[in-house]
């Protein structure tokens, strides 16, 4: 029996998927049973990098999700609409879904998975987080025997490329971003990547699978990398760290006793990572995810997080999984491939986070400044781990870098507020968390 795929989108990822499905030799033995029966595109006139029978190509995307002959709808259009509506309509018509759309899943997963459950169809999303890295299936199946305590990831390739270049070349953010845009590594509008939105979408998906509940995107604390300067990268290096945009999802042993008693943290922000940490040496556009679980301990996945081949690899794996499930159990849903989450997780507010902090301060170069800073930190129970003052920079200002011991975000921010009131303070250009 042949299983018919309706492919929505023939851009970079869609083209990669079509190329694999048209050339099954040496790949999974189920591939010859999978046929691209229709392809939906926005523009019929556009030149494509893959040969597709023009008779199966249409710009009427609705006609694909309604087509009774199609078993699996593969959505690789991206963006919210019309992707979300097409997915929901396809589910309503009893189609299984394979999607690479993190933005839709992170925002509308609740609606989509509830509809899929009602219809008894699969919604597969391996390509929606970290492209070619098989981390979704690992979380759903291979690590199922573990109680996961932490999932930490470099889940955005663009920012990792920018930060890697800043680390190796000592260049500033704006210059590196502009060059990355010229080279095609960063989008013309880099907001989703550099401000951490893309990473937050992926962390909502990964944390939901790791910790077994639905996640509201707006509960994820998010900061991007625009404030990182070459000076910060240099100081971090000197102190034995590198700086990465990290997604961190973890269950803490305890909480700070505040009004919110959740012990689940999910946050995306630039982070100082000790140079010996497994994520510190993931450079360029590569993504990596480190998972800690009981009993497995630590596992680290790394690989290409984007691009035609990597993302298509994940999409095709999902298609194969759906076809295998349909062949072996046509009247039942394979529970390992479904979504079993019913409730939203309660996420701890950022104030409850307990971590080390890095701060770069500019002060007037006067006697007693270090003493003033120490007193302000001490008053809020913030203990210092390292303090660096290299040189007076200009206009009589001194640059002072501190790294704290582990402290609650609340206490640290209180200390920073009182430091802002010191007459000797000029400004605090950077505050970062340490892993
Ligand atoms: N824009 C993403 C990144 C790739 O830079 O990692 C697609 O998820």
Whether the CB-CB separation of 359 and 433 falls below 8 Å is answered with no
pLDDT of amino acid 261 = 65
Residue 87, in any domain of the structure: yes
Q: Are residues 106 and 254 in the same domain?
A: no
pLDDT digits 0-9 by tens, 305-337: 999 999 999 999 999 999 999 999 888 888 888
Residue 204, in any domain of the structure: yes
pLDDT of amino acid 390 = 80
Which of 305, 308, 310 to mutate to test ligand 1, by most ligand atoms within 8 A of the CB atom? 305
On the question of pLDDT at 259 being above 70, the answer is no
- Which atom of ligand 1 is nearest to 102's Cα? 8
d(CA 200, CA 256): 24
Q: Are residues 20 and 85 in the same domain?
A: yes
Q: Are residues 316 and 264 in the same domain?
A: no
- Which atom of ligand 1 is nearest to 202's Cα? 8
CA of 17 relative to ligand 1 center, distance in Å: 18
Here the tokens at position 289 are: 């995810």
Q: Are residues 240 and 384 in the same domain?
A: no
On the question of pLDDT at 406 being above 90, the answer is yes
pTM value is 0.95
Which of 156, 165, 195, 309 to mutate to test ligand 1, by most ligand atoms within 8 A of the CB atom? 156
Which of 117, 202, 237, 244 is flagged as catalytic?
Answer: 202
What's the Cα-to-Cα distance from 270 to each of 154, 173, 302, rounded to whole Å? 10, 13, 19
What CATH code is carried by the domain that includes residue 179? 3.30.360.10
CA of 121 relative to ligand 1 center, distance in Å: 28
Residues in the chain: 435
CA of 44 relative to ligand 1 center, distance in Å: 26
Please give all residues whose beta carbon lies within 6 A of any atom in ligand 1, as ranges.
156-158, 193, 198, 305-306
Residue 200, in any domain of the structure: yes
Which of 16, 132, 193 to mutate to test ligand 1, by most ligand atoms within 8 A of the CB atom? 193
On the question of pLDDT at 353 being above 80, the answer is yes
Residue ID of nearest Cα to ligand 1 atom 8: 306
- Mapping DSSP onto H, E and C, the string for the chain reads CCEEEEEECCCHHHHHHHHHHHCCCCCCCCHHHEEEEEEECCCCCCCCCCCCCHHHEECCHHHHHCCCCCCEEEECCCCCCCHHHHHHHHHHCCCEEEECCHHHHHHHHHHHHHHHHHHCCCEECHHHCCCCCCHHHHHHHHCCCCEEEEEEEECCHHHHHHHHHHHHHCCCHHHHHHHHHHCCCCCCCCHHHHCCHHHHHHHHHHHHHHHCCECCHHHCEECCCCCCCHHHHHHHHHCCEEEEEEEEEEECCCCCCCCCCCCEEEEEEEEEEECCCCCCCCCCCEEEEEEEEECCEEEEEEEECCCHHHHHHHHHHHHHHHHHHHHHCCCCCCHHHCCCCCCECCCCCHHHCEEEEEEEEEEECCCCHHHHHHHHHHHCCCCEEEEEEEEECCCCEEEEEEEECCEEHHHHHHHHHHHHCCCCEEEEEEEEEEC
Residue ID of nearest Cα to ligand 1 atom 4: 306
pLDDT digits 0-9 by tens, 88-117: 999 999 999 999 999 999 999 999 999 999
Q: Are residues 167 and 294 in the same domain?
A: yes
Residue 397, in any domain of the structure: yes
Residue 285, in any domain of the structure: yes
On the question of pLDDT at 272 being above 60, the answer is yes
Question: Is residue 392 very low, low, confident or very high in pLDDT (cuts 50, 70, 90)?
Answer: low
Cis peptide before 195 (omega within 30 of 0): no
pLDDT digits 0-9 by tens, 118-161: 999 999 999 999 999 999 999 999 999 999 999 999 999 999 99
Q: Are residues 105 and 189 in the same domain?
A: no
CA of 348 relative to ligand 1 center, distance in Å: 27
pLDDT of amino acid 262 = 83
What CATH code is carried by the domain that includes residue 109? 3.40.50.720
* Residue whose structure tokens are 């007693």: 368
pLDDT of amino acid 165 = 97
CA of 269 relative to ligand 1 center, distance in Å: 16
Residue ID of nearest Cα to ligand 1 atom 2: 156
Q: Are residues 252 and 374 in the same domain?
A: no
59: containing domain: 3-131+309-328
Q: Are residues 204 and 187 in the same domain?
A: yes
Q: Are residues 182 and 79 in the same domain?
A: no
The whole-chain average pLDDT of the chain stands at 95
On the question of pLDDT at 257 being above 90, the answer is no
- Nearest of 101, 74, 49 to residue 317 by alpha carbon: 74
Which of 306, 311, 312 to mutate to test ligand 1, by most ligand atoms within 8 A of the CB atom? 306
Residue 389, in any domain of the structure: yes
Q: Are residues 165 and 295 in the same domain?
A: yes
Q: Are residues 155 and 284 in the same domain?
A: yes
Residue 336, in any domain of the structure: no
Residue ID of nearest Cα to ligand 1 atom 7: 306
pLDDT of amino acid 246 = 98
- Nearest of 110, 111, 63 to residue 90 by alpha carbon: 63
d(CA 49, CA 326): 31
Bridge partners, residue 36, by sequence: 5
Q: Which of 328, 362, 383 is the last residue of a domain?
A: 328
CA of 181 relative to ligand 1 center, distance in Å: 13
Residue 210, in any domain of the structure: yes
Q: Are residues 86 and 212 in the same domain?
A: no
404 contacts: CB under 8 Å, gap ≥ 6: 356, 357, 358, 359, 377, 382, 383, 384, 385, 412
Portion of the chain with pLDDT greater than 90, in percent: 91
CA of 336 relative to ligand 1 center, distance in Å: 27
What CATH code is carried by the domain that includes residue 400? 3.30.70.260
CA of 222 relative to ligand 1 center, distance in Å: 16
On the question of pLDDT at 4 being above 80, the answer is yes
- Which atom of ligand 1 is nearest to 159's Cα? 5
pLDDT of amino acid 424 = 94
User: What backbone torsions phi and psi does residue 356 show, to the nearest 5 degrees?
Assistant: -85, 155
pLDDT of amino acid 129 = 97
- Which atom of ligand 1 is nearest to 199's Cα? 6
Domain count, the chain: 3
* Residue whose structure tokens are 């497995």: 296
User: What backbone torsions phi and psi does residue 47 show, to the nearest 5 degrees?
Assistant: -70, 140
- Which atom of ligand 1 is nearest to 155's Cα? 6
Residue 202 bears catalytic tag: yes
Mean pLDDT of 350-365: 96
């Amino acid at each position: 029996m042949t299983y018919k795929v309706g492919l929505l989108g023939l851009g970079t990822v869609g083209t990669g998927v079509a190329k694999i499905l048209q050339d099954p030799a040496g790949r999974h033995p189920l591939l010859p049973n999978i046929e691209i029966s229709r392809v939906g595109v926005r523009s019929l006139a556009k030149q494509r990098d893959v040969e597709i029978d023009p008779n199966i190509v249409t710009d009427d995307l609705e006609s694909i999700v309604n087509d009774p002959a199609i078993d699996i709808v593969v959505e690789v259009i991206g963006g919210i609409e019309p992707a979300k509506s097409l997915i929901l309509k396809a589910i309503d018509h009893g189609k299984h879904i394979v999607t690479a759309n993190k933005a839709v899943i992170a925002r509308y997963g609740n609606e989509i998975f509830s509809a899929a459950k009602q219809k008894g169809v699969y919604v597969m999303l391996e390509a929606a987080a970290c492209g070619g890295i098989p981390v979704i299936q690992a979380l759903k199946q291979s690590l199922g025997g573990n109680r996961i305590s932490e999932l930490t990831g470099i889940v955005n390739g663009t920012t990792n490329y920018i930060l890697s270049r800043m680390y190796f070349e000592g260049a500033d953010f704006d210059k590196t971003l502009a060059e990355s845009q010229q080279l095609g590594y960063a989008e013309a509008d880099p907001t989703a990547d550099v401000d951490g939105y893309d990473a937050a979408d992926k962390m909502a998906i990964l944390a939901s699978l790791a910790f077994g509940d639905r996640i509201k995107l707006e509960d994820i604390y998010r900061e991007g990398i625009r404030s990182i300067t070459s000076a910060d990268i240099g100081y971090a290096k000197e102190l034995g760290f590198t700086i990465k945009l990290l997604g961190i999802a973890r269950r803490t042993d305890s909480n700070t006793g505040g009004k919110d008693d959740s012990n689940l943290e999910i946050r995306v922000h630039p982070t100082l990572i000790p140079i010996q940490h497994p994520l510190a040496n993931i450079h360029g556009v590569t993504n990596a995810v480190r998972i800690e679980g009981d009993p497995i301990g630590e596992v680290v996945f790394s690989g290409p997080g984007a691009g035609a081949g990597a993302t298509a690899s994940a999409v095709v794996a999902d298609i194969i999984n759906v076809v295998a499930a349909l062949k072996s159990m046509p009247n039942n849903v394979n529970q390992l491939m479904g979504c079993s989450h019913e409730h939203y997780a309660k996420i701890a507010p950022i104030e409850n986070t307990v971590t080390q902090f890095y701060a770069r301060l500019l002060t007037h170069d006067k006697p007693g400044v270090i003493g003033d800073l120490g007193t302000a930190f001490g008053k809020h129970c913030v203990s210092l781990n390292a303090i660096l003052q290299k040189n007076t920079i200009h206009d009589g200002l001194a640059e002072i870098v501190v790294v704290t011991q582990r402290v609650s975000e609340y206490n640290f921010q209180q200390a920073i507020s009182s430091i802002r009131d010191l007459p000797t303070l000029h400004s605090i250009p950077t505050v970062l968390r340490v892993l």
